[in-house]
A and B are shown apart, each in its own frame.
Chain A
C-alpha cells in the first residue's frame, strides 16, 4: 500500500516563526532536524518537496466560468497542510508508526494518513 502523510503544523514551532522556534530548547530543535532526517531516510519514504508558508498560498475557484482567487489557504492558516511525504508500507499500522515519529505530531500539530488510490 502507498500512503500520503499530510503534515499539519498546527501550533508546532517552526523556524519560520523565530520566536516560537526559540521557545524550544536547543536539544529539542536538534531533535526536530534529526527526526525529519531519519524519517526521510526510512525505507519506503519518498520525501515531499518543501512548501512555502500557508500565508503565501493562493486559493482558486471557478464560478460561472470566471476564475476567482483569494488570498490564503483553503482552510484556516493553522489547519493548512505544511508538508507531506509518501510512504510505501505493508499496512496502516506501519504508516501510523511512521506518522507518530514526525515531530509535528508531538509538538502541537497532527498528521493525516491517506491511502493512495491506484486507478
Chain B
C-alpha cells in the first residue's frame, strides 16, 4: 500500500497541484490543499481501498479542503478566484477527468520575470513533487536558502500578476525556449553525477512531449536526454569520467537508445532542425559503431551555425 501511494504521488502530484492552482489561482494555497489531500489519502486508502480514479479523488478532496479553509478565512476568500466559482462546482469535479493544466503550470514556473534558479526550484517542487529538502540537497544549497527561494518565487507570481496560462502564439517561441532551458539545466545537473535529477528531467521531458506533441524541439530535447542518459552507467568508473571512446558499450542501455531514436525520428518528421534536435542527432550518431565522423562533424558545424557558439566549435566529443 505504501508503494502504491508513493507511485500515485509520483505520477499525480504535478497534475493534481496544477489543477488546484488553476482552480484556486494561488500557489501556496494550492500546495497546502494538495498536501492535505495526499495526507488524507495516506490515511484512508489503506482502510477503504484506492478509489477508481485516484487523481480526481485527490483534486476533489484538495478543492473541498481549500474551500473549507477559505470559508473560514473571509479576507483570503476575497482575494482568490473561488468567489467566482458557482456553488455546485465545489462538490463535484467531472467524474472522469479534470483539465490537465501541467503545461500552464510549467510555463508559469518558467516565466522570465523569475530568476532562473527560482524557475528550476519551482519546476522541481511543483511538477516533480520533490521536497524543498531534496531540491536543496540536489543543488548543494542550504535548506533555508532553498525554502526562501521557493516562497519568494511563489509570492512574486501572485503579487506581480504572472499569468497561469500557456503563452499566446506571439510569446510562445521565447517562452518555450525558457522551459526547455530549465529542463536541460536540471538534466545537466544530473548528468554531472546526481542521477536523480537526470531521471527527473527525463520525466519532465516525457510530460512535455506528451503535452506539446507538435513541437519538434520538445522531442529533440527528450531524444537528446534519452540518448545521453543511456550511457550513464558507462560514463563513470571509480567516480572518474570515462570518455566515450573508452566506455564499456555493454553498459549502455540499448533499449533507451532505441527509445531516444524513435523520439528523434518524431522530431525530424516534424521538420525539427533546432539546436536540441541537432544535438540529439549527434548523440544518436555517437551511439553507432563504427562512428560516422564526417556526418558528426557536419552536424557540429550546423550546431555552431545555428547557436552561433564558439564553445561548440572547439568542443571535442567525449
Are the CB atoms of A115 and B113 closer together than 8 Å? Answer: no
* Binary per-residue interface labels of chain B (183-195) against chain A in the complex, 1 for a CB within 8 Å, 0 otherwise: 0000000000000
Assess whether A91 is in contact with B159, with CB atoms less than 8 Å apart.
no
Which chain B residues lie closer than 8 Å to A96 at the CB level?
A: 113
Contact-residue bracket for chain B: under 10
**Nearest A residue (CB) for B113:** A92
B171 at the interface (CB under 8 A from A): yes
Residue B160 interfacial (CB < 8 Å): yes
Residue picked from A1, A93, A117, most chain B C-beta under 10 Å: A93
Give the chain A neighbours of B113 by CB distance below 8 A.
92, 96
A19 within 8 A of B: no
Q: Are A93 and B159 in contact (CB under 8 A)?
A: no
A90 within 8 A of partner (CB): yes
What is the interface of chain B mostly: helix, strand, loop, or mixed?
Answer: loop
Contact with A along B146-173 (1 / 0, CB 8 A): 0000000000000111110001000100
In A45-90, the 8 Å CB interface with B consists of 89-90
Cα A1 to Cα B167 in complex, Å, equals 18
Query: Does A93 contact B160, Cβ atoms closer than 8 Å?
Result: no
Any B CB within 8 A of the CB of A95: yes
Report chain B residues within 8 Å CB of A113.
160
Q: Which residue of A lies closest to B171 (CB)?
A: A93
Say yes or no: A115 contacts B159, CB within 8 Å. yes
A118 to B274, CA, bound (A): 45
> Are A115 and B171 interface neighbours, CB within 8 A?
no
Give min CB distance, B193 to chain A, whole Å.
37
B67 CB to closest chain A CB (Å) equals 24
Q: In the complex the two chains form, what is the Cα distance from A95 to B163 in whole Å? A: 11
Which of A3, A90, A93 contacts B167, CB < 8 Å?
A93
Q: CA A96 – CA B161 in complex, angstroms?
A: 11
The answer for the CA separation of A95 and B161 in the assembled complex, in Å, is 10
Q: Among A3, A90, A117, point to the contact of B163 (Cβ < 8 A).
A: A90
Extra contacts besides A92-B111, A92-B113, A92-B163 (16): CB < 8 Å: A3-B161, A89-B161, A90-B163, A91-B161, A91-B162, A91-B163, A92-B160, A92-B161, A92-B162, A93-B163, A93-B167, A93-B171, A95-B161, A115-B159, A115-B160, A115-B161
Query: 11 A–B contact pairs at CB < 8 A?
Result: A1-B161, A91-B161, A91-B163, A92-B111, A92-B113, A92-B160, A92-B161, A93-B163, A115-B159, A115-B161, A117-B159
Mark A84-113 against chain B: 1 for CB-CB distance below 8 A, else 0: 000001111101100000000000000001
